[in-house]
Structure 1
Amino acid sequence: MSIFRNRREFLALAGAAGTAGALALTGCGTGAGSSPAADGKAAPRRGGQFRALFTGGGEQETIDPHAEALAIDMARTKALFDRLVDLDADMAPVPRLAQKWEANADATLWRFTLREALFHDGKKLTPEDVLFSFGRILDPKATNHFAQGLLSVIDLKKSRGVGKNTVEIALKRPSAELPALLGTLGTAIVSARYSDPAEPVGTGAFRLKSFQAGRSFVAERFDDHWDGGAYVDELRILSADADARGNALRGGEAEYGYEMTPAFARTAAADKSVRIVAAKGSTAHAIVMKCDQEPFDNPDVTLAFKLLADREKLVEVVLAGQGVVGNDMFGKGYQYYPEDIPQRKRDVAEARALLKKAGVLNKTISIYTSSVATGFVEAATLFAEQASDAGLRIKVTTGSSETYFKDQLTKGVMGSHRSGAMTIPTYINDRLLTKSAFNASGWRRKDFDAAFAKAQSTTDEGERTRLYGDLQRTVHDEGGLLLWGHPDWLNAVSSRVRGVEEAPPNTLDSARFDKVWLA
């Protein structure tokens, strides 16, 4: 994996356009599309170069918006392309290239009205571009297209353009969630003339200048962007590990660092050159118990393990206090999350009674973890200590970081788990259905699958919310998800940067650089 591990390597590339670390501001005017700054004291000004640092993926990095898999990929494609719909901080769909949408009575046919937008080659956005994009995403030969499974509900043969600015999307089965699905990763709209990922044709706020996988990405402002265009003249997205990101920010060689550690956030509090932008409780950390294997095929055992967790201590120690406690359900604060379910408390006596009844106390149970994600090993170790209070023995086994998420599906009866931000229906679809590809908890129930299908096809929002709430209650009470904490999403910016929002990952305002400017 080719990423910068020290300041010297970073400067060698970041300084390619001139003196390393220099910000060549080209003007102070606000220009068209300007709006008041968040602090109300100044208006945005155009000009300058903006350098954003992400964990790299080496030669695996891509600017193909339908094959994006890494955070650095997603940031680059967000700069170059737009989606029909995106997701706000609550994971609810909001308009982008689609101005509005409506469905028929049974949610099998959706009509999207497109806004006037130009591609980087000067051509106007048309319904044909949308249909071409969906066809490309759903190409059965392109197995690396991220949204292929989610959008498989689309019946492309029956979908069509209507006039110059409307597209009708027909579905194979009812889905009230189509707008939210179109706001997920890998759903960007490309031009019908798009053929080579190395020569992207998008409608994004930036236009590509150069890209080198594992090294750098340079783009320039697209002045004809439908949303007013970016403020900065040039955007550079570079690969760097966590230490290099922090050092570059402090040294003035970068303006943005993605996914910083809690330790960096603590030290940055006293550093006037750097500011932490934290989206509270925006991700999820859990321990999964495989419900299709002993002893977790017994719901009493899964409940006992949930009762053993000292969630406050896990957040305090593993997350350095940078997060909130979890309640064994994904999506706290998001659309469809049942806030009325009481917070689960630690109860060692009740846990011990359940474990004794199930005959588990005298057995050693292994938890499979890895250093692939910050906090995995620490959380597993601390939970093992907490479980010992009930007389339970848990052995911590550490696996390969390179293959952990694949190995976890077949190894061990417990494992470490994390998830970025996504809609609750997407999480259930990906991880809690019988045929879900990433079902790490082995949760396979036909009645649950059927209830989820019913919720997806329910067009009344109030009833749909109730149905999703019932699904979450079932997972809370019986599932194998011990979701102990929701870490804050920690990004860092130079003190000179304005316009960076506190947004969960995978949402519209996360790693969004068309609205940033340099004070």
Structure 2
Amino acid sequence: MRRRGFLAATGAGTLALAGCGGGSGSDDGGGGGSPKKGGRLRAAFAGGGASETLDPHLANLFADVARAKALFDKLADYGADLSARPRLAEKWEPNKALDRWRITLREATFHDGRPVTARDVLYSYRRIADPKRAFRAKASLEPIDLDASRATGARSLEFVLKRPTAEFPNVLAAFGAYIVPEGATGFDTAPVGSGPFRFVSFTPGRSAVFRRYDDYWEGAPHLDEVEFLVANEESARINALLGGQIEYAHELNPTTARAHENEGRIGIVRLRGSAMQAFCMKTDRPPFDDPRVRRAFFLIADRRELVEGALSGAGEVGNDLFGKGYEYYAGGLPQREQDLGRARALLRQAGAEDLKVTLDTSPVAAGFTEAAGIFRDQAKKAGVTVEVRTGSKDSYWSDILDNGTLCCYRSGAMPIEAHLSQRLLTDSTTNATRWRHKDFDALYQQAQSTRDKTERAAVYERMQRRLYAEGGFLIWGFADWIIGTARTVKGVDTKAPANTLDWARFDKVWLA
């Protein structure tokens, strides 16, 4: 997720929201009695303009993914703790060497009545892996030898891997790894999936309407229809929600949530710990090629002040490790606190008493510019001069993050294993901290070759202890992801981080 650091919203304009005013109720979106059938829910997301597509393999923005998961299924998806949960794959089983995995599909059908088969799975994965296309999940599927993999029955197949991969179910759950019917190519006029809703209409950059699929393998949705609308500005989404034009507003900022949380007009749902917030130190260039300087910066940060100031308190403090609360997280390490005396001592040892460094930031993500200013003031107390440089939204993820020495950084939810493999191995394509250590790579390979989960967790903990001691990510917090709902909306999951299975699960939502 390098270009946006998240499935970040883009687009300059705001499109008008269609629809009639909605009713009001008395409960928030997290519960509310027995589910009721019927009705259309209107959900507003930031979108991608006229270039939007319903091709699930091109899903990139939050709006794309929400539409894709309504129409399509994956073999697996991530639970709230970011462990892989079976979806179209009813079960999976590896061989002893962990380089072959047998998959059994559940009985499911596409919207046109055809059964989902192993041939559909192989077609989908081979389409994603097409070297001529830039599909999102291509890198995630790289461990699979798709030429050697084969169907062993109508609902069974064997994946042959290029190397042992203990966390192979994470590959099945990869972002964008949706299953489409064999031979499917066009997706914007009448796409056919196996998801809980079937296609009705689509106008890129404006609206998509999907209707309940009664034969969905997990049970028909409560809603008759869901309509996805585009509103790129946060102010447009909250105003449409307050005005009854929509029932679900994705991605509200903390200030907005605080202003409306206790009014009773709308419900506010906080998805805790959805977004890692960090400063990225380049470990391959001065001054951060010296681990003593990195340790000093860990001790300069007042994490509580950063969460309160940059996130308006809508989050929790970090401990310089990704994935707080996720499967394999090393939660037993001491919570790091500000220690300016120790930070000064480390800088003296490194010969960097009068250190000056540029911190690159941008309004590309909520809290970035605020965090940079707060950290500048914290560093000054340790004798470090931090010059804040604010760059363009358009080039931040593609250029500024690569070229800077110290940069603001954030990430959405993914398994800790994926964070390690995608960002912290020598050959990782999104290695923002330039962390390159062969012994660290060897630990990852050891973990992936370890069949026993307890033993594998112990290896992941060793890797995290190393990062805690001298890594390049100063992870100061985890921001809430905030959603607004009409009071009539029930069944919205309040524990699933953005990008996980139960986020934007409109088949589980109903209107009271």
Please tell me the TM-score bracket, short chain as reference.
Answer: over 0.9
2:27 counterpart of 1:21: no
- The answer to whether the Cα contact below 8 Å between 1:2 and 1:214 also exists between their aligned partners in 2 is no
Q: Deviations over 1:373-396 (max 9, x none)?
A: 010011011001000001110000
- Cα shift at 1:3: 6.6
The worse-fitting range, judged by mean Cα deviation, of 64-73 and 416-425 is: 64-73
- The answer to whether the Cα contact below 8 Å between 1:153 and 1:171 also exists between their aligned partners in 2 is yes
Separation (CA, whole Å) in 1 of partners of 2:51 and 2:476: 32
Q: Deviations over 1:39-97 (max 9, x none)?
A: 5x632111111111111222343211111111111001010000111110001111111
Q: Which aligned pairs between 1:115-514 and structure 2 lie closer than 5 A?
A: 115-142=106-133, 144-198=134-188, 199-240=190-231, 241-502=233-494, 503-514=496-507
Separation (CA, whole Å) in 2 of partners of 1:259 and 1:438: 25
Separation (CA, whole Å) in 1 of partners of 2:52 and 2:395: 18
Separation (CA, whole Å) in 2 of partners of 1:181 and 1:90: 16
Q: Deviations over 1:106-129 (max 9, x none)?
A: 111111111111101111111111
Please state whether the residue corresponding to 1:334 is helix, strand or coil: coil
The worse-fitting range, judged by mean Cα deviation, of 231-240 and 306-315 is: 231-240
Aligned in 2, Cα 1:453/1:247: closer, same or farther, shift over 3 Å? Answer: same
Gaps of 5+ in 2: 1-9, 24-28
- The answer to whether the Cα contact below 8 Å between 2:22 and 2:247 also exists between their aligned partners in 1 is no
Please state whether the residue corresponding to 1:283 is helix, strand or coil: strand
Q: Deviations over 1:277-336 (max 9, x none)?
A: 112222200001100000100000000001000001111111111111000010000001
- Cα shift at 1:411: 2.1
Separation (CA, whole Å) in 2 of partners of 1:38 and 1:226: 24
Query: C-alpha root-mean-square deviation of aligned residues, in Å?
Result: 1.5
Separation (CA, whole Å) in 1 of partners of 2:398 and 2:12: 23
Separation (CA, whole Å) in 1 of partners of 2:30 and 2:297: 45
Matching residue within 90, 95, 98 for 2:86: 95
Q: Deviations over 1:254-274 (max 9, x none)?
A: 111112110111012122121
The worse-fitting range, judged by mean Cα deviation, of 207-216 and 183-192 is: 207-216
> What TM-score, normalized to structure 1?
0.93
- Cα shift at 1:354: 0.9
2:26 equivalent in structure 1 = none
- Cα shift at 1:38: 6.9
Separation (CA, whole Å) in 2 of partners of 1:435 and 1:414: 21
- Cα shift at 1:186: 0.9
- Cα shift at 1:457: 2.1
Q: Deviations over 1:336-370 (max 9, x none)?
A: 10111111111000001111222223232101110
Separation (CA, whole Å) in 2 of partners of 1:61 and 1:105: 43
The higher-RCO structure (CA 8 Å, 6+ apart) is: 2
Aligned residues: 495
> What TM-score, normalized to structure 2?
0.94
- The answer to whether the Cα contact below 8 Å between 2:355 and 2:383 also exists between their aligned partners in 1 is no
- The answer to whether the Cα contact below 8 Å between 1:99 and 1:113 also exists between their aligned partners in 2 is yes
Equivalent position amino acid for 2:16 in 1: F
2:16 counterpart of 1:10: yes
Separation (CA, whole Å) in 1 of partners of 2:72 and 2:284: 42
Separation (CA, whole Å) in 1 of partners of 2:300 and 2:33: 51
The worse-fitting range, judged by mean Cα deviation, of 267-276 and 280-289 is: 267-276
Separation (CA, whole Å) in 2 of partners of 1:248 and 1:505: 22
Please state whether the residue corresponding to 1:366 is helix, strand or coil: strand
Gaps of 5+ in 1: 24-36
Q: Deviations over 1:226-273 (max 9, x none)?
A: 111211111111111211111111111111111211011101212212
Separation (CA, whole Å) in 1 of partners of 2:147 and 2:174: 22
Separation (CA, whole Å) in 1 of partners of 2:214 and 2:180: 18
Task: Give the share of equivalent positions with the same residue, in percent.
Answer: 48
Separation (CA, whole Å) in 2 of partners of 1:139 and 1:475: 35
- The answer to whether the Cα contact below 8 Å between 2:361 and 2:372 also exists between their aligned partners in 1 is yes
Separation (CA, whole Å) in 2 of partners of 1:274 and 1:419: 28
Separation (CA, whole Å) in 1 of partners of 2:274 and 2:146: 34
